[in-house]
Chain A
Amino acid sequence: MQIDITVNGTAESHDVEARTLLVYYLRDAVGLKGTNVGCDTTSCGACTVLLNGESVKSCTVLAAQVAGEEVTTIEGLALEDGRMHPVQQAFQECHGLQCGYCTPGMVMAITSLLAENPDPTEEYIRLGLEGNLCRCTGYHNIVAAALAASQALEMRQ
C-alpha cells in the first residue's frame, strides 16, 4: 500500500507491505539507517523517534498508522544551520555514548522528555528513560547529558 509520511520535513511516499512497521519504513523505504532496532518486544527504545514532536518506539507503530503525520529521526534533529541540537551537543560533551547503538533513540527520547518538562530533576530523567536501554554507559553520562541539555535549552530561550 502507498503510505505518505513527512519525515524530517520532507514528504515521503512509498509503496510498502501493509504490515510494515514505522522503523522499517524509515530504514528500508526512506533509507534513513540512523534509527536502530535493538529488540522485538518494545523493551529497548533504540528505535525511538519523534511522532509530531513526541517520542514513540517506531518498532511498535505501523507505518500505515501514521500516514499523513510528521516523523523526526536522528538525521533530522540538527539545527537548520547544521550545528548539532543542544541534546546532541550535550551527549558529546558529557560522553553520553560509547558504541552508539542506543544513542539515536536516547537522544530522541530526551528531546521529547525535555519538551515535556524543561527543568527535570535527575530522578525524573531516570524514570523517563526507563524504556531506553543502554549497555555501555551505565546511564551516568546520559543522565548528565540530559541535565546539561536542559540547561542549554533554557539558556537558548
Chain B
Amino acid sequence: MSILGNRVLRREDPKFLTVGGTYVADLALPGSVHVTFVRSSMAHARIVSVDSTYAQAMPGVLAVYTNDDLGLPKFPTIMGMTNEAMTPPMLASGTVRYVGEPIAAIVAESREIAEDALEQVVVEYEPLKVVIDPVKARTDEDLLFPDAGTNTSFSLDFGGDETLFDDCEVVVELTLANQRVAPCPLEVRSAAAHMSEDGRLEFNSSTQAPHGVRDALATFLDLEPDQVHVVTPDVGGGFGAKGAVYPEDIVVGWCAQKLGRPVRWTETRSESMLGLGHGRAQVQHVRIGGTREGAVLAYRIEVLQDTGAYAGFGAVLPFMTRMMTSGPYKIPRAECASYSVVTNSTPTTAYRGAGRPEATAAIERIMDLFAREIDMDPAELRRRNLIEKDDFPYTTPVDTVYDVGDYHRALDLALEVAGYDDLRAEQVRRRTAGDVRQLGIGLSCYVEITNGLPDGEFGAVEVRPDGKVIVRTGTSPHGQGHVTAWSMLVAEQLGVAIEDIEVIHGDTDVVPRGAGTMGSRSLQVGGAAVNQAAVDVVEKAKDLAADLFEADRDDIVLDKANGRFHVVGTPALSRSWAELAEAAAKDGTALFAEVDLASPGPTYPFGTHISVVEVDTETGKVNVLRHIAVDDAGRIISPLLAEGQVHGGIAQGVAQALLEEVVYDLDGNPLTSTLADYSFISAAELPSYETRFTETPTPVNALGAKGIGESGTIGSTPAVHNAVCDAVAHLGVRHIDMPTTPVRVWSAINDAVTGHGTAKGGR
C-alpha cells in the first residue's frame, strides 16, 4: 500500500513543540558582537552629513560604517530587465529614498549598546520632493533618480489594439487598487557570521535560498563560492520576502571579515516592517467586454506596479501578472500592459503569489461587475466562460500554455459544498427584509502558475550500512514540511520506514547546489529530484543484489513491504538495504545516487473559492461566516501538508481583502510600521475553512503534482472582496477598494444611499 496520499504526521513537530525550533537568533556564537543599522527617518533627502563621533566614543562600540567605508558595489539589476540606475546600494549613498533605508552600520559588544549608540548618530538631511503615489510617479514630474530621467523601472508595453472591444455589446471598466501589504513572517530577518579557522566565511541566514545567499556573499565580498559556507537553521516563515538577499546580509558578512569577530544581527519588528520587502502594490485599470448572453469576448488590463524606492524583484512582478492575464477563462482577445515605477517607499518584492494574486483579483472583480451589468448570476457567467477540460493544453491570448485542468468540476464542487442556491435565497430574504446585517456571497475562479522560474533542483539519496537513509535536497523549507514529504517520497520508492530517513537541507557544504523554496516549486522540482534519486538508488541496489545473488539483473525484485531484495520466485533468500550498503562499502563505493533535475516546466493549479460574509450596514463591519476552497494542485502527496498550505494562504488572502494595508502619508512617513498599527489578521477575524481537493494530475512532471503553496492566497482574496461588494450591491454600491475596512464599507454605503456619487473606496 502506498504511503503517498496518506495523512502522515510531521516528523518536524516534536522538536518545535518541546524545546522550540532553532532560529538564527538562537544559535550560540561565543564572543559575538552585534550590528544595528542607522535608518533614514526621511522618505527622500540628500544626506548632508553623518556624524558618528559620539557613537564611536561610547564604551563597547567597535565601529560605525557608512557606504563609503564598505566600498561594495550596488546590487545588480533583476535578470538585466530593470533600470540599471535604480538598483540599491549596500547602504544609502548620498541620497535616502525611503524611511527605513539603512544609512550606517554600528557594531558593538552587545545588542543593548548597539541600540543605545543608534541614538548617538546624527544624520543631517536636506529634504527632497517626496513621490509616494505611483500614479504621480509615472508622470516623471519629480524623479527619484534624476540620472535615469524617468521613474519607470520596468515595463511590458504590450497591447493597444484599438479594435479589441469593437464587437462587444457590453463593456465594463474599473480602476482598482491591489494594495501594498507586509509579508510579516513571525521571525524577522536575522544573520550571524564568523570567519572559520581556515579562513572561510561561516554564515547563518534566515532565508528561503541558502545557495543564493552563498553566491551573493561570494560575489559582493570577492570570494570564491567555496570560501563561503551558509547554514540555514530553522526559518520562521518567509512568504517570498526572504527569497532575496538584502543589503544587511552582505554588510553583516563584510563586518565579520573586516573585524575578525563573530557578528550577529537581528532586526526588530518595527525595522522589519520597513526593511523586509512589501508585496502587491499595484494599481490596475481593467476593461472587459462581451455579449448580453454572457460571452466574454475581450479583456484588457493595465498595471501600474509600485516598485518602492529601488528596482528589485517587485519591479518584475507584472511579468507574472501578465502571464495570468485572462485567468481561467476562454477569452478570445486579452491584453496586458504594465509599468513599474519607483516611489519613496520600501522596495516591493515577492509575497505569496507574487504577481498572480493581482491578476486574479483584477479579472475576478470585473467578472462580477460584468455579471451585474448583464443581470446574470456571477456563478453562471463564470460557468459559461471557463476553459473546458478538453481544451488542454490551452494557449491563452498572451501565449501562456496551461497544462491541464477541469475548471468546471472545481466550480461545481464549490457551489455544491457552499449550498449556493440556499445562500442566494437567504440573501434575497435579508434584502427584502432590509436586515441590518446583509449577506454577501463572493466567488473566485482562479488559475495560477507554479514553478514559473527556470531553475532545476538537486536531490540525493544514500543508504548507509547501518540501514539509515540520508536524503539531501536543494529546497529550503521554512514551515512547508519537506522533511516529512521527502521522507514519504523516499519511503515509497525504497520500502523503508520514514523513521529511518534523515533529510538534510540548508547547508551549502553538505548540499552542493540548490535554488531554494519559492514560487510553489519545491515538490514538483525538488521533491521530484529526490524521488528520481530514490529511483536511481533502487536501480543501483539491484545491480549490487544481482552480483550478490549471482542472478540476472532483470530478475531482481525489491519487496517494498519489507524493504528487501530477492530473486524473482525465491523470496526466502533476500538481502536488506543495509546489507547491500555494506556490500557497496566493501567495494569501496556507496549506495548512493544524486540527481540534478532540470525543471520539468511550470504547472497551473486552479480552483474555486467561495466566501460568505455578513456586512453590518450600520457600522461597515465585515464578518466572514464561511470560506469554501476547492483547489486542484494535481496529485496530492501529503494531504496534511497540502491542506495546511491552503489554510495559511486563505488567511493571508482574507487579510488582504479585509484588513491589511501598508499605509504612507503624503510625506512618505510609514503609518503602519509596528504590529500594533498594521492589521495583521488574527484568529478572531477568521472562521474555520471548508477545504476540498480535486486531483487532476499534471503530465508535466513525474509526480503529477502542481504547487500548492500560493493557491490559497490567490483564490481567497477575490472571493472575499467580491462577497463584501456583493453584500451591499443592492444598496447601489458598485465597488469598494481593498482592504474593505469598516470605514470604507460604511462610507461606500453612505455615499450610495445619500447619492453622493458612486463610492470611491479608492480612486
Contact = CB atoms under 8 A, between A and B. Distances in A.
A14 interface: no
A84 B17 contact: yes
Interface stretch (B68-76, B184-192, B362-370, B427-435): B184-192
Contacts of A136: 186, 237, 479, 644, 648
B675 A41 contact: yes
A71 interface: no
**Most chain B beta-carbon neighbours within 10 Å: one of A95, A126, A144:** A95
Given A43-B676, A99-B234, A138 B651 contact: yes
A93 B9 contact: yes
Nearest to B640: A95
Nearest to B650: A138
Contact of B236 (A33, A43, A100): A100
A39 B675 contact: yes
Contact of B112 (A17, A38, A137): A17
Contact of A138 (B10, B18, B21, B686): B686
Contact of B12 (A100, A107, A122, A127): A100
B20 A98 contact: no
A41 B13 contact: no
Interface stretch (B168-176, B277-285, B523-531, B677-685): B677-685
B649 interface: yes
Given A39-B269, A74-B17, A126-B686, A133 B186 contact: yes
Interface string B89-121: 000000000000000000000001000000000
Interface in B53-99: none
Contact of B644 (A88, A122, A141, A143): A141
B236 A101 contact: yes
A58 B26 CA distance: 17
Nearest to B20: A34
A46 interface: yes
A138 B13 contact: no
Contacts of A91: 13, 17
A74 B20 contact: yes
Interface in B631-676: 640-641, 643-644, 647-652, 674-676
Interface in B1-45: 9-10, 12-14, 16-23, 25-26
A126 B683 contact: yes
Contact of B682 (A27, A46, A130): A130
Contact of B9 (A95, A132, A137, A144): A95
A103 B640 CA distance: 18
A99 B675 contact: no
A42 to B, nearest CB: 8
A43 B675 contact: yes
Given A84-B17, A99-B234, A101-B187, A125 B683 contact: yes
Consensus secondary structure, chain B interface? loop
Contacts of A78: 18
Nearest to B680: A133
A65 interface: no
Contacts of A88: 17-18
Nearest to B185: A135
Q: Which of B12, B269, B480 has the most CB of A within 10 A?
A: B269
A126 B184 CA distance: 20
A148 to B, nearest CB: 13
B10 A95 contact: yes
Contacts of B605: none
A63 interface: no
A130 B650 contact: no
A70 B12 CA distance: 30
A142 interface: yes
A86 to B, nearest CB: 11
Contacts of B686: 126, 138-140
Interface in B103-161: 112
A123 to B, nearest CB: 9
B684 A127 contact: yes
A138 B9 contact: no
Interface string B233-265: 011110100000000000000000000000000
A103 B688 CA distance: 19
A40 B17 contact: no
Interface string A24-59: 000100000111111111111010000000000000
B10 A134 contact: no
Interface residues of A, number: 55
A19 to B, nearest CB: 8
A97 interface: yes
B648 A101 contact: no
B683 A39 contact: no
Contact of A143 (B13, B236, B268, B688): B688
B235 A140 contact: no
A121 interface: no
Contacts of A40: 268-270, 674
A75 interface: yes
A3 interface: no
A10 interface: no
B607 interface: no
B676 A41 contact: yes
Nearest to A97: B16
A98 B269 contact: no
A84 B23 CA distance: 22
A122 B23 contact: no
B18 A99 contact: no
Interface string B501-512: 000000000000
Interface string B176-204: 00000001111110000000000000000
B564 interface: no
B45 to A, nearest CB: 25
Interface in B597-651: 640-641, 643-644, 647-651
A33 B26 contact: yes
Contact of A41 (B12, B479, B652, B674): B674
B479 A100 contact: yes
B294 interface: no
B480 A98 contact: yes
B481 interface: yes
B433 to A, nearest CB: 25
A43 B674 contact: yes
7 contacts: A98-B480, A100-B12, A103-B21, A135-B183, A135-B652, A137-B651, A138-B649
Interface of B: 9-10, 12-14, 16-23, 25-26, 112, 183-188, 234-237, 239, 268-270, 478-481, 640-641, 643-644, 647-652, 674-676, 680, 682-684, 686, 688-689, 712
Given A43-B675, A77-B18, A100-B236, 11 more contacts: A33-B22, A40-B268, A91-B17, A95-B10, A98-B480, A125-B683, A131-B682, A136-B648, A139-B647, A139-B682, A144-B688
The 9 closest A-B pairs by CB, nearest first: A34-B20, A101-B236, A99-B479, A138-B651, A98-B479, A100-B16, A43-B675, A138-B647, A39-B269
